[in-house]
Amino acid sequence: MASKITPEQIADLQAHVGHPVPVQDDAGKVVCYMIGADIFDDDSSEYNRRLNALIDEGRASPRAPAEEAHKRMRQTMQAISDKQA
């Protein structure tokens, strides 16, 4: 089952269609990025390929320092967003 999304998160996604939206815990220690499912609506194999490459990189590099992993993820997600725009 998918995690529940808040009205604030929905508004953020709608305001930034096609772009990753940062989400963090109350303590500011855990940062994740949400992307709306609309990024997959155009049935583009390029978007799916790049997202899968990002996931595979994360799985293959479990020892990457968190800051470096966040940096690479932000860069990759930005590149995906830029292509969609």
Domain ranges of the chain: 7-84
Give the model confidence (pLDDT) of 42-82 as tens digits. Answer: 556 777 777 777 677 666 665 656 677 778 778 887 887 77
Cα 29 versus chain centre, distance: 17
pLDDT reading at 85 higher than 70: no
Q: Tokens in use for 78?
A: 């930005």
Q: Which pLDDT score, from 0 to 100, does residue 62 have?
A: 57
Rounded to an integer, what distance in angstroms lies between the CA atom of residue 77 and that of residue 74? Answer: 5
| Residue labelled with tokens 């990024």 | 39
Give the model confidence (pLDDT) of 1-20 as tens digits. Answer: 678 889 999 998 889 877 77
Could you tell me which residue, 85 or 25, shows the higher pLDDT?
25
The answer to whether 74 touches 20, Cβ cutoff 8 Å, is: yes
